[in-house]
Structure 1
Amino acid sequence: MSPPHTRRWLKHPWLSLLLGAAWLLLQHSVSVFHLISAALIGLIVPWLLRDFLPAPKTLRLQPALRLAGVVLWDIVVSNITVARLVLGPMARMQPAWVPVPLALTDPTAIALLATIITTTPGTVSCTVDEERHEILVHALNCTDPAQMAAEIKARYESPLLAIFEDGAGHADALQGETS
């Protein structure tokens, strides 16, 4: 267990590293002055924002890296698909609204799922319905909304469950929803 002062000042170590790295990239320099400035920014800004930032989460690295690979691949493939759709005959497109039931409960994971969906060309997450516990997705071209919802759950939500929540228990629940 780390001493109290370490927990207090480095409550968000990844944010501290990200802020410091961003500062160095903006300065285009790794001089001693800029390294010290980056370290101070990385320490002070998260400390000043401590009351506004949620408690840091323990993330599972291997599923996160796997998800990042899947998302990057899907972005490339979707860009090609959307380009073909846009440059081809417009009659081929079948836009659709796709409700995707959520097994996720963590607000950060739900926000990340919405971001992944919106970042992937051809789909946009429009709203998260908390009462129905689903996310509404608009797809540029969708012939089978149920299949698209199942793909979103399998490709993105299932890994997010493994990253943010108890993967074993939620994975069983996810299998029951998609069956």
Structure 2
Amino acid sequence: MRRLLKPLRDAPMTVVALTLLWLLLQGRLAPGQLLLGVLLALAITSAVSPFSSGRLRVRRPLLLAIFLWRVAVDILIANLRIAALILTPSRHPRPAFVELPLALTQPFALYLLASTISLSPGSLSADLSDDRRVLLLHLLDEPDPGDAAAECAKIKDRYERLLLEVFP
């Protein structure tokens, strides 16, 4: 029993988040669903805890909220751009790979940046170099070569800079 309840002590927010996710997926707040959600959250958290590198330190949680807001807004804007690209028959996408040099070193922050880029329609994190210093991006519609550097600068300014402040 102690082993099953260990995630409540070690990662209570993960248990709460997974339980809430379960309830959202179910679409109703019934006592049985709440109990099942808590049990699933405890089991999942217990199962993945050996793969965790320890506690994640968040230095500035308010900046994390700003980061998430930026991601949501940028995903909405990217959806509109992709829709315009698809609905304009004379416009043909120019796919390309672009290398993004990284200043991030914290593994979770790197994961978060790569996932954020992949969540945004029209871009995808394709590879991370062995030394974790360069992220290879695939862009559905490459801007001009000079604009590709501006796109990388935008990613670094909007996302990486905040993640560097949030995760020490």
The aligned counterpart of 2:78 is: 78
* 1:155 matches 2:127: no
SS of aligned partner of 1:94: coil
Match of 2:19 in 1: 20
Between the two proteins, the alignment pairs up a number of residues equal to 159
Amino acid at match of 2:135: I
Q: Which consecutive aligned stretches of 4+ in structure 1 deviate over 6 angstroms post-superposition?
A: none
In 2, the alpha carbon distance for the partners of 1:34 and 1:91 equals 49
Give the counterpart letter for 1:115 in structure 2. S
Aligned mates of 2:96, 2:167 — CA distance in 1: 29
Q: Which runs of 5+ in 2 are unaligned?
A: none
Q: Say if 1:71 and 1:116, in contact at 8 Å, map to a contact too.
A: yes
Aligned to 1:61: 61
- 2:158 partner amino acid: R
Identical residues among aligned pairs (%): 31
* Cα distance in structure 2, aligned partners of 1:37 and 1:76: 33
**1:161 positional shift:** 1.0
Q: Which runs of 5+ in 1 are unaligned?
A: 1-5, 166-179
Contact 1:27 1:34 in 2 (8 A): no
- The 3-state SS of whatever aligns with 2:50 is coil
SS in 2 for 1:137: strand
Aligned to 1:119: 119
Contact 1:96-1:138 within 8 A present in 2 as well: yes
Q: In the TM superposition, what is the alpha-carbon distance from 1:92 to its structure 2 partner? A: 5.0
Letter in 1 for 2:45: P
- The alpha-carbon distance between structure 1 residues 85 and 36, as it changes in their structure 2 partners (threshold 3 A), is closer
Deviation, 1:82, is 1.1
Structure 1 residues 116 and 48, CA gap change in structure 2 (3 angstroms): closer
Report which stretch shifted further, 8-17 or 67-76.
8-17
Kept in 1, the 8 Å contact 2:8–2:15? The answer is no
TM-score of the superposed pair, with normalisation by structure 2: 0.81
Per-residue CA distance 1:12-41 (angstroms, 9 max, x = gap): 11111022223434373332x544444444
Instruction: Provide the TM-score with structure 1 as the length reference.
Output: 0.76
Q: Give the SS at the match of 1:108.
A: helix
CA RMSD in angstroms, aligned pairs only: 2.4
Secondary structure (helix, strand or coil) at the match of 1:104 reads: coil
TM-superposition CA deviations, 1:29-69 (whole Å, max 9, x none): 332x5444444444454235432223121223111110111
Alignment pair present for 1:137 and 2:124: no
